[in-house]
């Protein structure tokens, strides 16, 4: 069940987006003779592809903030085809057009992320349905709530939402405190056992150090397929594979993901999902 605070945070973000876009007012629409005329409109999917729609709830809340009512014809996560009717909206021209661009921007971005995530998920699940596709924190400031939700709608997991979700020991932390074998027990002693510790490693020696020091997850970061395979074999040879989850990250794309998935990691994290997924195209048309 959604927390009440989640709804408040969503409304707060959407109001901020409106304030950013509207400024002191929509001087075009407000100066039309019939700006207060009641109209209806529909949102149409324009891209010439099969996509995964995402952002329906957000767009409905946005139109509600702008005193419009909406009737969706799709739910988040559904497949959409070109020219699909996504939603109908009713309100004054002034209110409806105030929300138009933000609504379309959110649908475009979130549906693009959900669609690309689903493609990666479908590929790896043909190899091993237990492999999880995860996003990263490579999101545009202010959009993480929307980007991460889109990944989940696409069948992935959000991974860390914020820095306080779990411990993630990265290369710069190791530079500061030098030793993986010292850092992990130090942090574990301070945070207790309920919070997971993940450690980014750059070779098989660091991977073994991290596992033996008590990491819950190790990230093979920017490993070639050959290096990742070698590291996983060494971990298995030492009888450590069942003690830890293995995450592979860095440079994952459609050309190489099959070979990485064949190594049977637990998680494959992909920054591309949120920083480079192509948006899908939607348009809003006033009917009358």
**Which residues belong to CATH 3.20.20.70 in the chain?**
121-275
Span 133-137, average pLDDT: 96
**4-113+278-286, which class in CATH?**
alpha beta
* Residues catalogued as catalytic: 138
User: Architecture of 121-275 per CATH?
Assistant: Alpha-Beta Barrel (3.20)
Q: Tens digits of per-residue pLDDT, 177-227?
A: 778 999 999 999 999 999 999 999 999 999 999 999 999 999 999 999 999
**Which residues belong to CATH 3.90.1170.20 in the chain?**
4-113+278-286
> pLDDT-based confidence at 1, cuts 50/70/90?
very low
Lowest average pLDDT, out of 23-37, 44-58, 102-116, 224-238, goes to 23-37
- At 2 the pLDDT is 52
Q: Among 171, 175, 172, 199, which Cα is nearest to 185's?
A: 199
What does the angle CA 10 – CA 12 – CA 15 come to, to the nearest 5 degrees?
110
Phi-psi domain of 154 (left: phi exceeds 0; alpha: psi -120 through 50; beta: other): alpha
What percent of the chain clears pLDDT 90, i.e. is strictly above it?
Answer: 85
Q: Tens digits of per-residue pLDDT, 77-120?
A: 999 999 999 999 999 999 999 999 999 999 999 999 999 999 99
The model's pTM is 0.94
Q: Tens digits of per-residue pLDDT, 148-166?
A: 999 999 999 999 988 988 9
Q: Does residue 33 have a pLDDT over 90?
A: no
| Measured distance CA(14)–CA(99) in Å, rounded | 10
Q: What are the start-end ranges of the E strands in 63-147?
A: 69-72, 79-80, 85-92, 132-134
- At 3 the pLDDT is 57
Span 133-155, average pLDDT: 95
Mean of the per-residue pLDDT values of the chain? 94
What does the angle CA 114 – CA 115 – CA 121 come to, to the nearest 5 degrees?
85
- At 6 the pLDDT is 83
| Residues 281, 47 contacting (CB under 8 angstroms) | yes
């Amino acid at each position: 069940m959604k927390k009440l605070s989640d709804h408040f945070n969503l409304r707060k973000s959407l109001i901020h987006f409106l304030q950013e876009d509207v400024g002191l007012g929509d001087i075009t629409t407000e100066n039309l003779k019939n700006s207060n005329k009641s109209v209806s409109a529909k949102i149409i999917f324009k891209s010439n592809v099969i996509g995964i729609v995402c952002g329906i709830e957000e767009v409905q809340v946005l139109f509600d903030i702008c005193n419009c009512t909406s009737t969706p014809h799709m739910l988040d996560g559904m497949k959409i085809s070109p020219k699909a009717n996504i939603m109908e909206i009713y309100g004054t021209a002034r209110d409806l057009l105030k929300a138009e661009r933000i609504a379309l921007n959110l649908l475009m971005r979130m549906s693009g992320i959900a669609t690309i995530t689903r493609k990666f998920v479908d590929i790896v699940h043909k190899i091993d349905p237990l492999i999880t596709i995860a996003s990263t924190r490579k999101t545009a400031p202010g959009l993480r709530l929307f980007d991460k939700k889109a990944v989940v709608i696409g069948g992935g997991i959000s991974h860390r939402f914020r820095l306080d979700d779990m411990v993630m020991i990265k290369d710069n932390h190791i530079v500061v405190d030098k030793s993986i074998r010292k850092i992990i027990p130090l942090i574990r002693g301070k945070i207790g056992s309920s919070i997971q510790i993940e450690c980014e490693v750059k070779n098989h020696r660091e991977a073994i150090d991290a596992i033996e020091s008590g990491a819950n997850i190790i990230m093979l970061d920017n490993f070639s397929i050959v290096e990742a395979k070698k590291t996983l074999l060494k971990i298995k040879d030492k009888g450590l594979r069942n003690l830890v989850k293995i995450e592979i990250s860095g440079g994952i794309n459609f050309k190489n993901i099959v070979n990485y998935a064949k190594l049977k990691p637990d998680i494959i994290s992909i920054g591309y999902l949120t920083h480079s997924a192509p948006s899908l195209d939607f348009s809003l048309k006033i009917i009358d």
